[in-house]
Amino acid sequence: MGRRDNRLNNEYMNDWDGDDSDGGGNTTKSTVFSSREERLFYVYGDINARNCADVAYDISQINHEDDEKDKKEKDFKREPIRIYFNSFGGSVYDMWLLVDTILGSKTPVYTYCTGYAMSAAFIIFLAGHKRYMSPHATLMYHQIYCWRSGKYQDLVDDREQTDHLNEMIENFVVERCGLTKEDLLNIRERKKDTYFSADEAKKLKIIDSIMGVSSRIGIVHFLHQNSNRNRTLALRA
C-alpha cells in the first residue's frame, strides 16, 4: 500500500519520523536556537516533528515552572515566551502540535516574523497571543498541498482527511485575523500563494504591530552573543 502523506507544500522540507535518520543514512538536526532562560526560540528551518516537539516541550516546561512560582509568589507575573520565525513551512500534522501548545499556554506566547513565515509557519505564527513583524518581512498563506498514492479506497480516505485538514486550517485563520471565508475561498480557487507585507498584515489584523529597530537589533545581538554558548543557547542535534 502506498505511503499517504498530507502536508503543506514546502520544497525545503525534511520531515522527521521519530528517529534521527532522514532515510538516507544522514542525521536530521533540529533547526531551533533556544534559550529557556531567556524564554526565546528562533525557528529558522522546517516545520517538522523534531522542531515542533523541541519548542512545544520547552513551552510546557516554562508553564510548569511558572505554575509553581504562581503558587508560591504573591502577584507573580508571567514573562512572555518569544518565538521568532524564519521558515518556509512544513508538515501540517506537526504544525498543530505547536499551535495547540501555544494556544493552551497560560504563559503568554508572542510570535515574531523577522524574515518570512510561510505555509505551516504562517499558521503557527497566527497562534501567538501577540504577533509582530519586522518592516521587510513576508508572510505567506496558501491552500493545503498534499501528495496521495495508493489504492482507490486509500485515495477516497485521503480526500476526506485532506478536506478535514483544510477546513480546520481555514476556520483557524478566520478566527485569528481579519481574513474572511470569502477571502480564503478566493485564494483556494485561484490556486495562488498569497503574500502579505507588514503593512498589509497590520491592516488585516494578522499582526498586532510592526517591530521597531530596537527589537530587531535585540534578537540579532542575542543570537550573536550566544551562538557559541551551549549553556543557554542550544542548537540541538
Spatial contact of 161 and 237, defined as CB atoms under 8 Å apart: no
Q: Of 8-12, 32-36, 148-152, 193-197, where does mean pLDDT reach its minimum?
A: 8-12
Average pLDDT, the chain: 81
Closest by CA to 218, choosing from 72, 93, 35, is 35
Q: How confident is the model at residue 33 (pLDDT cuts 50, 70, 90)?
A: confident
pLDDT in tens, 88-112: 999 999 999 999 999 999 999 999 9
Spatial contact of 40 and 222, defined as CB atoms under 8 Å apart: yes
pLDDT in tens, 195-227: 999 999 999 999 999 998 655 555 555 555 544
Strand partners, 42: 33, 84
- pLDDT on residue 223: 52
Report how far residue 74's alpha carbon sits from residue 41's, in angstroms, rounded to the nearest whole number. Answer: 28
Asked if pLDDT for residue 236 goes beyond 90, the answer is: no
- pLDDT on residue 152: 80
pTM: 0.79
- pLDDT on residue 30: 67
Asked if pLDDT for residue 73 goes beyond 80, the answer is: yes
Q: How confident is the model at residue 32 (pLDDT cuts 50, 70, 90)?
A: confident
Q: Of 81-90, 110-119, 184-193, where does mean pLDDT reach its minimum?
A: 184-193
Average pLDDT over residues 15-29: 42
Closest by CA to 97, choosing from 56, 129, 59, 131, is 56
Instruction: For the chain, list the domains and their CATH numbers.
Output: 5-11+28-235 (3.90.226.10)
pLDDT in tens, 112-167: 999 999 999 999 999 999 999 999 999 999 988 776 777 888 778 888 888 899 99
Rg from Cα positions in the chain: 18
Average pLDDT over residues 183-194: 91
Strand partners, 6: 146
- pLDDT on residue 219: 57
Closest by CA to 199, choosing from 135, 110, 142, is 135
- pLDDT on residue 206: 97
- pLDDT on residue 93: 92
Asked if pLDDT for residue 21 goes beyond 50, the answer is: no
